[in-house]
Structure 1
Amino acid sequence: MNRIALIFSFLVCSAPLFAQQPVSEKPRVLISTDIGGTDPDDNQSMIHLLMYSDMFDIEGLVSSPSYGYGNENQILRAIGLYEKDLPNLRKHRKDFPSPEYLRSVTKQGRRGGAPYVGYTKASEGSDWIIKCAQKKSDRPLWVLVWGGLDDVAQALHDAPEIQSKIKVYWIGGPNKKWSVNSYAYIAENFPDLWFIEVNASYRGFFSNTGVPDSLNTDNYYARYIRGAGYLGKDFKRYYDGRIKMGDTPSVLYMMNGVPNNPQGESWGGSFEKMNHSPRIIFNQNATIADTVPVYSVLEFHLKGPKIEIPSDSTCFTLKVAGQKWGGFYLGNGNYGVRYAPKKAETLTYTITSGIPGFRDREGTFVVDDHWPGKPGPADYQLGTNWYTDRSDPKLFDGQWQGAKTILKWRNEALLDWAKRWKWLSEK
C-alpha cells in the first residue's frame, strides 16, 4: 500500500460516525397528527417540527385524532408559542415560515377511527391532503403520519389518483390498533402506495441504551431546554420535560440522508422492503395454540342474528388488553371486528353484545415478535415501494425491531437540536 492510500485508509477508518448530508432540497411535507389525544408526545414533536420549520415547505398541519380529544386548537396553540420565539429563530435562519401561513394550513381532520370499511366521509383534513397532493410540482408530497391513517385513507378513497403523488412515513405500532380499519383499506386497495411503515424503529429515539447522561431522556431538559423561550417553557408540560417524541423520527427522516432511499442511512431510520402485510382471520374462537405476528391485522368474523340496522354500524364490543373496541354489523347476519397487537404477549379477549340472540365469545392467542413473519393465505399483498423496520436481530434494541437504526443517530440529532434551544435562550 503506498503512502497516500495508507493516509486515506486511516482517515476513513478513524472518522466519526455521521449520517449522510442534509437533504439536497426542501421537501414538501404535510403532518397528520393526533396531538392533544392520550399521548402528549405529539406536543413535543410539534415543538421540534416548528423549531426546524425553516428546513421544510410545510403544506399542511392536520389534526387527525383516531382516539381521544385532540383537535386543531392544539396545533394553533403551538404556533402561538412559536410566534413568540420567532424573532430569536430568525436571527439565525431567515426561512422560518410566518405564523399566519402556518395557521392558514392548519386543518381539522376526522375525529375518531373509521368504520370497518376503512373510510366514511370527507373531512377538512382529508380534502386538504388531496388539494396539496394535486399541486403541480416536481417534488412529491411527503405525508408524515403521527397518529391514525383515517384522513389518509379518506383522501385516497376520494381521489385515488393521488396515490402516485404522495409518499407516506407512518409511525405505526400502537397507532395501528387505533386506525386498523383504515390501514386494512389502504393495504388492500393501494398496495402500490409509497409507504414506510414504522412499527418499532421509532422507539430508538427515546431509548437510553448507551446514551451519555447529558442526553438521557430524563436529563436532556435540564441540560439543554430549561429557560429556552416560550417553547422551552411549554415543553416542561409534557412528561415533565422527559424526552419521548415518538413521532419525531418522521421529521428527522426528512432532514437528513436521502428520503427517496429508505434502505439508506438517515436520522429517521433505515428500512427494508416488505411484500406482504400479515392478516389473520378467525372464524371461530382463538385458542392458546394460535400464534400471530406482532402488528398484524386480526379479523374476527362472527355469525349472529339478522338485525335491522345499517351495515357498518357498531353493535358489539371486543375487549382485549384492558381496552374496548367497537365491532360492526356487516349485514345479513355477519359481524366483524379488527385488532392489531402492539407487542409480543399472550392476550385473552371477550366479545359481548346486548343484541338478543347474539352469543358472547372469548378466546386467547399468542403474539410473537416476528414482523412481518412468514406469508399467510389471507395476507395483504404489497407492491415494490412498501418498507418497514429492519428485521436483522442485531438491529433490535431489546424487543424493538430496527430501533438501533435510529438509536445510532439519536445523540447527533439531539445535539443538533440543542443548538437551536440555545438560540431561544438568547436575550
Structure 2
Amino acid sequence: MIRISLFSIIYLFSVQLFGQTTSITKPRVLISTDIGGTDPDDNQSMSHLLMYNDLFDLEGLVSSPSYGSGSTAEIFRMINLYERDLPRLKKHKDGFAEPSFLRSITKQGRKGGAPFKGYSTSTEGSNWIIKAARKKDTRPLWVLVWGGLDDLAQALHDAPEIQKNIRVYWIGGPNKKWSANSYAYIAANFPDLWMIEVNSSYYGFFSNNQTPDVVKTTDYYQKSIQGAGHLGKDFKDYYKGEIKMGDTPSLLYLMNGNPNDPTGESWGGNFEKIKRSARVVVDRNTSLSDTVAFCTVVEYRFQGPKINVPADSSVFQMEVPYGDSKQIWPGYYLGEGLYSLRYAPKQAEVLKFKFTSEIQGFPTGEGQLVVTNLWPGKPNPQDYLLGENWFSDSTKPSDFDGRLQGGKTIFKWRNEVLSDWAERWSWLK
C-alpha cells in the first residue's frame, strides 16, 4: 500500500477549480454540528477540530440540531476551554484562530428537523452558510456536516446559486434518519451538488474490530489525554473518555490525502461515485415481504380523510421501539386527503413500528420492514438520480469492517491519526 504523506494538504499544489488552476494551502471550512444534543461524540470531534484548527481557514461553526437540545451555548463552552489551553498550543504551532474570532463565526441554525417539504424559514446559521459560500475566493467552501442537513437545505433553497461554490462531506447514517426530509429535498433538487455522503464508513474510526497494531480507543484517554489541559479534563465527560468521534473523519479527509479525489486514499476514507440515491415510495403499510437497503429514504403515503389544517402540518406519527423506550417520527398532511412520512433506517435489521394519529379515519396500524446491509442496494425507478459529483461508501467486500460498509477505508488509518493527535495532547501537559 502506498502511504500518504503526513498532512499533504498543507503543501502547495495545483488543482482545477471552477475552470481555473489555483494554488491553495488551507481549505476553507464551515462546520454544521448538533453538538450538545443526545450524542456527545460531537464534543469529542470539536476538541479535535479546535486542536487542529491551524490547518484550516474556519469560516463558520453552525449549531444545527435536527434532534435534541444542541445550541451555540455548547460551542461557546468548548471555545472557552480552548481559550485556556491556547497559550500552550501556540508554543508549538502558529496559525491557531483567536477565540474571539471563533465566537464571531458561531451561529445558531434550525432547532428540530425540517417539515416534509425539506425546508422552512431561514436561520442565522443558514444565512451564514450563504454568506460564506458567496465570499469571493478561488477555493471552494467545505461544508462539513456533523448532524442533520436542515440548515444546508435551507441555504440551498434560499440561494441555489451557492451549489457551485461548496463541497459537502456529510456524516449520514443516523443523521440521515433525523433529517430525511431535508436530504430528500437536496437529492431531488440539487443532484449536481458536490457531495460525499458517508453512511457507514465513519464507524470504522471507533470500530471494535481491533488488531494488535492499532491504538486502542478504550485506553487512549489514560495513555494520551489524561492530564492534558482543560480540553483533556473535559474529554473525560464524554463516553468516560473512550474514543468515538464519529464526525472527525470529515476533518481527517481534509488533513491527509487529495480532497479533490474522493476515490483516492485519505484518513477520512475513500469513496465511490454513485449515480442514484435509494428511495422507495409505498402507498400502504409494509411487512416482512418488503426489503430495502439501509439508509434508503422510505416514503409512506396514505389516503385518509380531508381535514382543515395547513399543508405540511404534522398530524400523525411513526413509533419505533428503541431500547426500553421508543422514537417518534412525525408524519405530515399534504392536502386533499394525502398524508406522508419519510424514514431512513440507519442499519440492517428487521424494523418494527406502528402508525398512530388522533385523526379519526386515519389508517393506523403496525408494520415491519426488512433492512439489508449494502447501500444503495438494488436500483428502483423511484430512486433519486444524481449527477457526476456525488460519492458514498465503498461497496467493495474487502473494504467492509465486519458488517460496516467501507469501514476499513477509515479504520486502517486510525493508528496514525490517534498517534498524531497524542503528540498534540502532549503539548497541553
TM-score (structure 1 length as normaliser): 0.94
Given that residues 19 and 267 in structure 1 are in contact (C-alpha distance below 8 angstroms), is that contact kept between their aligned partners in structure 2?
A: no
Residue of structure 1 equivalent to 2:8: 22
SS where residue 366 of structure 2 aligns?
Answer: strand
Residue of structure 1 equivalent to 2:330: 326
Given that residues 109 and 151 in structure 2 are in contact (C-alpha distance below 8 angstroms), is that contact kept between their aligned partners in structure 1?
A: yes
Given that residues 20 and 258 in structure 1 are in contact (C-alpha distance below 8 angstroms), is that contact kept between their aligned partners in structure 2?
A: no
SS where residue 215 of structure 1 aligns?
Answer: coil
Given that residues 214 and 414 in structure 2 are in contact (C-alpha distance below 8 angstroms), is that contact kept between their aligned partners in structure 1?
A: no
2:213 and 2:207 map into 1 onto residues whose CA distance is 12
**CA-to-aligned-CA distance 1:342-375 (integer Å, 9 cap, x gap):** 1111112211111122231222110011211121
* Greater Rg by CA: 1
Residue of structure 1 equivalent to 2:428: 424
Given that residues 173 and 200 in structure 2 are in contact (C-alpha distance below 8 angstroms), is that contact kept between their aligned partners in structure 1?
A: yes
| CA positional deviation for 1:213 | 7.9
Name which of 388, 391, 397 aligns with 2:392: 388
Identity %: 63
**CA-to-aligned-CA distance 1:365-404 (integer Å, 9 cap, x gap):** 1001121112101000000000000000111111110010
1:424 and 1:288 map into 2 onto residues whose CA distance is 54
Q: 5 Å matches for 1:352-391?
A: 352-391=356-395
Q: 5 Å matches for 1:236-251?
A: 236-251=236-251
1:365 and 1:214 map into 2 onto residues whose CA distance is 37
1:140 and 1:252 map into 2 onto residues whose CA distance is 17
SS where residue 137 of structure 1 aligns?
Answer: coil
**CA-to-aligned-CA distance 1:248-303 (integer Å, 9 cap, x gap):** 00011111111111000100000000000010011012121110011000000001
Residue of structure 2 equivalent to 1:10: none
| CA positional deviation for 1:18 | 4.2
2:408 and 2:315 map into 1 onto residues whose CA distance is 42
Residue of structure 1 equivalent to 2:21: none
SS where residue 343 of structure 1 aligns?
Answer: coil
Residue of structure 1 equivalent to 2:15: none
**CA-to-aligned-CA distance 1:170-216 (integer Å, 9 cap, x gap):** 00001101000000000000000000000000011112433448821
Q: Which runs of 5+ in 2 are unaligned?
A: 12-24
| CA positional deviation for 1:19 | 5.3
Deviates more, 1:166-175 or 1:344-353: 344-353
Given that residues 170 and 197 in structure 1 are in contact (C-alpha distance below 8 angstroms), is that contact kept between their aligned partners in structure 2?
A: yes
SS where residue 327 of structure 1 aligns?
Answer: strand
Q: Which amino acid aligns with 2:70?
A: G
Given the alignment of the two structures, is residue 66 of structure 1 paired with residue 66 of structure 2, yes or no? Answer: yes
Residue of structure 1 equivalent to 2:20: none
Residue of structure 2 equivalent to 1:260: 260
Q: 5 Å matches for 1:294-309?
A: 294-309=294-309
Given that residues 215 and 414 in structure 2 are in contact (C-alpha distance below 8 angstroms), is that contact kept between their aligned partners in structure 1?
A: no
Q: Which amino acid aligns with 1:309?
A: V
Given that residues 4 and 266 in structure 2 are in contact (C-alpha distance below 8 angstroms), is that contact kept between their aligned partners in structure 1?
A: no
Name which of 347, 351, 367 aligns with 1:347: 351
Given that residues 209 and 402 in structure 2 are in contact (C-alpha distance below 8 angstroms), is that contact kept between their aligned partners in structure 1?
A: no
Residue of structure 2 equivalent to 1:7: none
| CA positional deviation for 1:20 | 6.4
Question: How many pairs align?
Answer: 411
| CA positional deviation for 1:304 | 0.6
CA separation of 1:332 and 1:315: change in aligned 2, threshold 3 A: same
Given that residues 20 and 265 in structure 1 are in contact (C-alpha distance below 8 angstroms), is that contact kept between their aligned partners in structure 2?
A: no
Q: 5 Å matches for 1:12-411?
A: 17-18=3-4, 21-23=7-9, 24=11, 25-212=25-212, 215-321=215-321, 322-411=326-415
SS where residue 412 of structure 2 aligns?
Answer: helix
Q: Which amino acid aligns with 2:288?
A: I
**CA-to-aligned-CA distance 1:2-37 (integer Å, 9 cap, x gap):** xxxxxxxxxxx8x8x445652031000000000001
1:214 and 1:373 map into 2 onto residues whose CA distance is 32
Given that residues 214 and 220 in structure 1 are in contact (C-alpha distance below 8 angstroms), is that contact kept between their aligned partners in structure 2?
A: no
SS where residue 394 of structure 1 aligns?
Answer: helix
Q: Which amino acid aligns with 2:402?
A: G
1:214 and 1:226 map into 2 onto residues whose CA distance is 20
Q: Which amino acid aligns with 1:165?
A: N
**CA-to-aligned-CA distance 1:111-167 (integer Å, 9 cap, x gap):** 000000000000000000000000000000000000000000000000000000000
1:355 and 1:211 map into 2 onto residues whose CA distance is 54
Q: Which runs of 5+ in 1 are unaligned?
A: 1-12
1:245 and 1:211 map into 2 onto residues whose CA distance is 19
Q: Which amino acid aligns with 1:364?
A: Q
How large is the RMSD of aligned CA atoms in angstroms?
A: 1.2
Q: Which amino acid aligns with 1:399?
A: R
2:106 and 2:112 map into 1 onto residues whose CA distance is 18
TM-score (structure 2 length as normaliser): 0.94
Given that residues 35 and 65 in structure 1 are in contact (C-alpha distance below 8 angstroms), is that contact kept between their aligned partners in structure 2?
A: yes
Q: Which amino acid aligns with 2:415?
A: N
Q: Which amino acid aligns with 2:428?
A: L
Deviates more, 1:355-364 or 1:19-28: 19-28
SS where residue 265 of structure 2 aligns?
Answer: coil
1:265 and 1:209 map into 2 onto residues whose CA distance is 21
Deviates more, 1:302-311 or 1:313-322: 313-322
2:6 and 2:239 map into 1 onto residues whose CA distance is 32
Given that residues 20 and 266 in structure 1 are in contact (C-alpha distance below 8 angstroms), is that contact kept between their aligned partners in structure 2?
A: no
| CA positional deviation for 1:320 | 2.1
| CA positional deviation for 1:46 | 0.2
| CA positional deviation for 1:410 | 0.6
1:209 and 1:417 map into 2 onto residues whose CA distance is 21
